[in-house]
Structure 1
Amino acid sequence: MNLGIFILAFATFVAGTVELVIAGILNMIAEDLQVSVGTVGQLVSIFSLVFAFGAPILIALTSRVDRRKLLCIAMTTFLGGNVLSIFSPNYTTLLIARIILAASCSIVVVVSVTMAAKTVAVELRGRAIGIIFMGLSASLVLGVPLGTIVGEHFGWRMTFVLVSMLSVICIAAIMKFLPKVPAQPTIPLLQQIATLKSKKIASIQLISVLELTGHFTVYTYFTPFLQTTMGLSTNMISTVLLIFGAAGIVGGWIGGWASDRFGGVRAILVFLVLLATSLFLLPYATGSITSLLIVVILYGAMVWALSPAVQSYLARSAPDSADIQLGLNTSFLHLGVALGSGLGGFLVDYYPVTTNTWVAGIMVVLALFSAIYSLMKKRSTATSLN
C-alpha cells in the first residue's frame, strides 16, 4: 500500500477527531462560556447536521475541482475553523467555528475515500478504502478521551491547538506526497435520494439513524453521567473513555468478521440486541468500576460493530447502487449523531442524566424493529442477501 493512502487516513483521523472531541470537554466549555452543558452538547448536533446534509451538496458543487487541490482547500478551511475555535470569546463564535469545521470535514472524508480508490490498483481498492475508514473510526473513538486529557491538563482551547498543529502537518504531507487526481463525474443528488424509494433500503438506512441516535443520546453526555452517578475524577473518566474506544476498535473488526462469516443481517440483529441490553444495564452498572467497565466494553464493541455490518447488508441488498448507498449511509450516520446529541441535550437539561440511557435503549430497540422489517421485506421478495 502506497504512502498516500496512509496520508489520507491521517487526514480523516485529524478531521474526524474534531467532531466528537466536544463530548469530553462539555463541562469545561460550559463553565468558560457561561452556558448550560446541554447547550454545549448541541455543538455536536450542529456539526453532524452540517456534515450529513452538507457532504453531498458540497461534493456536487466542487465536482469540477482537482481532488488533491480540493483536499488542500478543505484542510486549510478546517485549520481556519480550529483557529476560530481557539479564540472564540463566546458560544456564538464557537458555533460558527463548528459549522466551518463540519463543512470542511465532510469534504475531507468523502474526497479521501475517492482519492484512495483512484490512486491504487483495482485489486487493492477495497483495502485502501478500509484503511481510510480505520482513520475515521479511530478519530471517532479516540477523539473524546484525547480531548478530555488535553482539556483537563491544559484547558479546552488547547485541544484545538493540537488539532491545528496536526492539520498543518497534514496539509504539508498532502501537497508533497499525493498525486493530482482529476475531478470525476458525480451522480446528481436527486438521483441519489431516489434510490431510497425502496422500503427495504430505506429501512436499512434507518437502522443507522436510530442506532446512532441512541448511542449519542448517552455518549455525548457520558462525562456528566459518570460524574453524577459515580463521582469519578476527570482522569478516571478519561480511562473509561479510552477503554470504550479500544472496545470500539475491536468491535469494528468483530462487525466485519461476523458479517463475512454469518451474514450482515444476522450480525445486525445480534449486535442490536446486545447494544440495547448494555444501554439498559448502564445505570445499574455504576455500583462499582468493575461492573461499569464490563458494560462499557460491551457497549463500545457493539455500537462500532454495527457500522460494517450495516454497510455489508446495504451492499448486498442493493448491488446496483452500492456506492450510492454507502455514501448516503455516511450522511445517515451523522444525522443519527445530530439527533442523539440534540435529544440527549434536552434530556440532560430537564431530567436526571440516567434518563438518557433509557431513551437510548428504546431508540436501539426501534432500530431492531427496523432491521426485522428489512428482513421481512427480503423474504417477501424472495431475494437472498447473504
Structure 2
Amino acid sequence: MTSPRTTTAEPASSIRDAAGGIVALTLATFAAITTEMLPVGLLPQIGDAFDVSDGTVGLLVTVYAFMVAALALPLTLGTRRLPRKGLLLTTLLAYTVSDTVVAVAPAFGVVAGARALGGVAHALFFSLSIGYAARLVRPHLTGRAMALVTAGASAGFVLGVPLSTTLGTAVGWRLAFGVLAGVCLLTTVLVAAFLPPVESDTAHTAPVAGRRPQLATAVTTNAVVYLGQYVVYTYVAVLLLHAGISESGVGPVLLGIGALGLLGLWFSAARLDVAPRRTAILVLAVLAASLAALALAFPSRGGVLASTAVWGASFGAVASIFQTAAVRTRGASPDVAGALVNATANVGIGGGAALGALVLDRRGLGTLPWLGAALVAAGLVIVLVGRRAFPPA
C-alpha cells in the first residue's frame, strides 16, 4: 500500500518552489472571503428587496460567522484523517451552491439558509487553508507563506467585494451573487489542477506540551480584534452613505480603501519572519487609532475617507499576524490551530455584526467606530502582556 509520504508534497525550501500551491490557495481564499463579505457592500439593496432593516440584513454576516465559530473545530477534528485537497475542493463547491441559491432566493429566509450553507463550508475552508499553507513550506518561511495566501483575502476586500458591490448597484445584487458563484466554480477547477496534495493532519508533527496557553492567548486576541473590526466594517456602506457618499460611489470607495490593505499585507509579509511582536503591536496601534479618528471625523466626508483609508491599510496585516502567531505556538497541529483562528475570527465577525446592529438601532452610527477602537485597543493590551504568545522572533 502506498504511504502518505509518497503521495504528498514535501515542504518547499523556498517560496519560489511553493509558488504553484501558494497561488492556488490565494485564489481559493479570494473566492472564500468575497463570498463571506459580499452582503456588506450590498446591504442596503438586499434590505430594500425584502423590506427588512439594515440591522436585520447585517445579521446575514452574523449567521454565516456563527456557523463557522460553532463548527470550525469539530469539523476539523472530524475530518483530520481525510485528504486535505479533496476537502478543500468540497468547500469551494459548497460556496458555489450557496452563492447560486442566494442569487435566485425568493425570500429572505432562503437567503439566510443559503448563507448558513456557506458558513459550514467556511468552517472548514480557513482551517484547511491555514494548515495547508504551513505544510507547503519549511517552518522558517511560515510567516511569508501565510501573508501571501492571505493576499487572497485582501484581494477579496480590494477587488471582490467592491467590484461585486459596484456590479450589484448597477445591475442588481442577485447578478452579483450569480457572478460570484461562477468565480467560485472556476476557482474550484484551478485549485484541482494546480494545488499539490499534502499530508493529512494526523501525519503532522505533534504539538508541543505546555504550549496551549500561548495558543489560547493568540486566538483570544484574534477574537477581540475581529470583534472591534466588524462592529464597524459590517456597516461601512451605511457609514459611507451617511457621510455623503452616493450609493453608486460606495463600491469605488471600498475599492480604493481596500487597495490600501495591500500595504498592510506587504508590511506583514516583510516583517512577520523577522519581528513578529513589533509588527503586531504597531499594526494594532494604528488600527485602533484609525477607528478613533473615524469616530471623531464622522460624518465629515473628507475626514471619514481619510481615516477609513488608514483603517483599511492597517487591517490588511491583521489576518496573517494571528494565523502565524497561532501556528508558531505549536500548541496544536496547524489544522487545529487554523480551526481555532478561523472560529475565533468568526466569533468576532458574527459578534461584531450583531453588536453593531444593536448599537446601530439604539445609539446610532457615530457610536460604532468608538466601540471598535476600544475593542482593538483591548486586543493590543493582550499582545503587550502576552509576550510568550507573541514573541520577538
Instruction: Give the TM-score range, shorter chain.
Output: 0.7 to 0.9
Q: Structure 1 unaligned segments of length 5 or more: list them.
A: none
Match of 1:363 in 2: 375
Match of 1:223 in 2: 237
- For 2:261 and 2:339, locate their aligned partners in 1 and report how far apart those are by CA, in whole Å: 22
Letter in 2 for 1:206: T
The structural deviation recorded for 1:286 is 4.2
The structural deviation recorded for 1:223 is 1.0
Letter in 1 for 2:362: Y
Contact 1:265 1:309 in 2 (8 A): no
Q: 2:359 aligns with which of 347, 350, 357?
A: 347
The structural deviation recorded for 1:114 is 4.6
Match of 1:86 in 2: 103
Distance 1:196 1:45, change over 3 A: farther
- For 2:149 and 2:223, locate their aligned partners in 1 and report how far apart those are by CA, in whole Å: 22
Residue 270 of structure 2 corresponds to residue 257 of structure 1: yes
Match of 1:133 in 2: 150
Q: How many residues align?
A: 372
The structural deviation recorded for 1:54 is 1.6
- Any idea what SS the aligned residue of 2:285 has? helix
Contact 1:9 1:112 in 2 (8 A): no
Distance 1:26 1:298, change over 3 A: same
Match of 2:15 in 1: none
Contact 1:148 1:234 in 2 (8 A): no
Contact 2:158 2:258 in 1 (8 A): yes
Distance 1:64 1:222, change over 3 A: same
- For 2:322 and 2:88, locate their aligned partners in 1 and report how far apart those are by CA, in whole Å: 28
Distance 1:153 1:260, change over 3 A: same
The structural deviation recorded for 1:143 is 3.6
Distance 1:146 1:195, change over 3 A: farther
Letter in 1 for 2:320: P
- For 1:2 and 1:51, locate their aligned partners in 2 and report how far apart those are by CA, in whole Å: 28
Residue 335 of structure 2 corresponds to residue 335 of structure 1: no
More helix by share: 1
- For 1:180 and 1:312, locate their aligned partners in 2 and report how far apart those are by CA, in whole Å: 21
Match of 1:51 in 2: 68
The structural deviation recorded for 1:288 is 5.1
- Two-structure CA RMSD over aligned residues (Å): 3.1
Residue 226 of structure 2 corresponds to residue 212 of structure 1: yes
Match of 2:34 in 1: 17
Q: Structure 2 unaligned segments of length 5 or more: list them.
A: 1-17
Match of 2:54 in 1: 37
- TM-score scaled by structure 2? 0.83
Describe the superposition over 1:73-95 as per-residue Cα deviations: whole angstroms up to 9, x where unpaired: 32222221112111211221111
Contact 2:147 2:320 in 1 (8 A): no
Contact 1:201 1:374 in 2 (8 A): no
- TM-score scaled by structure 1? 0.84
Describe the superposition over 1:7-58 as per-residue Cα deviations: whole angstroms up to 9, x where unpaired: 3321221122111111101111111111111011011111112123322222
- Any idea what SS the aligned residue of 1:215 has? helix
Percent sequence identity is: 27
Contact 2:126 2:342 in 1 (8 A): no
- For 1:196 and 1:28, locate their aligned partners in 2 and report how far apart those are by CA, in whole Å: 47
